[in-house]
Chains A and B, each alone.
Chain A
């Protein structure tokens, strides 16, 4: 059972480039989340999804886009990368949404924008 899988684990981008961070879960969870974590800081919610075809903005959505075409996959798209997007990105999933328990995290994707 793989849980939550994120790819790539590391990536260096140049300013203005675009890329997609992939996230997949095999636990049949309805709820999926993208967080970013800057050094020495907590997790800031970028986007989340409550099921296939349904997404919504979190605290820091600017510069990002998401889609959720299947229950398993929740990719995060960075358009026109900026140095401010240098961070560690975590994808997480949960069976029944907030208030009901554990968030399962992927191993993270470390992105550097130069």
Chain B
């Protein structure tokens, strides 16, 4: 069973701090990785995708990928109360059309 694991949290950070969210995956054949944000009672929305080892930056968000360690992370700089949500890591299962989701990390940004 291919798995995606995340710390469920909650992760609490003060406003303006850096929030660091982590995800590990078991499928060594996975080639792409996605971070979704889900506000309470809403559907998930894509915020970052990453395909190559290293860092990818988009505004206040940075995704980091280390395929050798099977680890992907999301950094949120200058965290805002509006960033308070659950962040889901999604990893497509190699050789299939299926996206496998982690359980999500609940982030709380304290004003």
Contact among B6, B32, B42 with A100 in the assembled complex (CB-CB below 8 Å): B32
The segment out of B14-22, B58-66, B68-76, B88-96 that lies at the interface is B88-96
- Which has the most chain B C-beta neighbours within 10 Å: A42, A45, A100? A42
Q: A45-B100, A58-B98, A105-B44 are in contact. Are A98 and B93 (CB under 8 A)?
A: yes
Sample of 30 A–B contacts (CB below 8 Å): A31-B97, A33-B98, A42-B4, A42-B6, A42-B101, A42-B104, A43-B88, A43-B101, A45-B100, A48-B97, A48-B98, A58-B98, A90-B43, A90-B44, A97-B97, A98-B32, A98-B92, A98-B96, A98-B97, A98-B98, A98-B99, A100-B32, A102-B46, A102-B49, A103-B44, A103-B46, A103-B90, A105-B44, A106-B43, A108-B42
Interface size on B, as a range, is 20 to 34
Q: CA A9 – CA B8 in complex, angstroms? A: 27
Chain A residues with CB under 8 Å of B78's CB are: none
Interface on A for B, CB 8 Å cutoff? 31, 33, 35, 40-45, 48, 50, 58-59, 90, 97-103, 105-108
In contact, A42 and B97 (Cβ under 8 angstroms): no
What distance in Å separates the Cβ of B69 from its nearest Cβ neighbour in chain A? 20
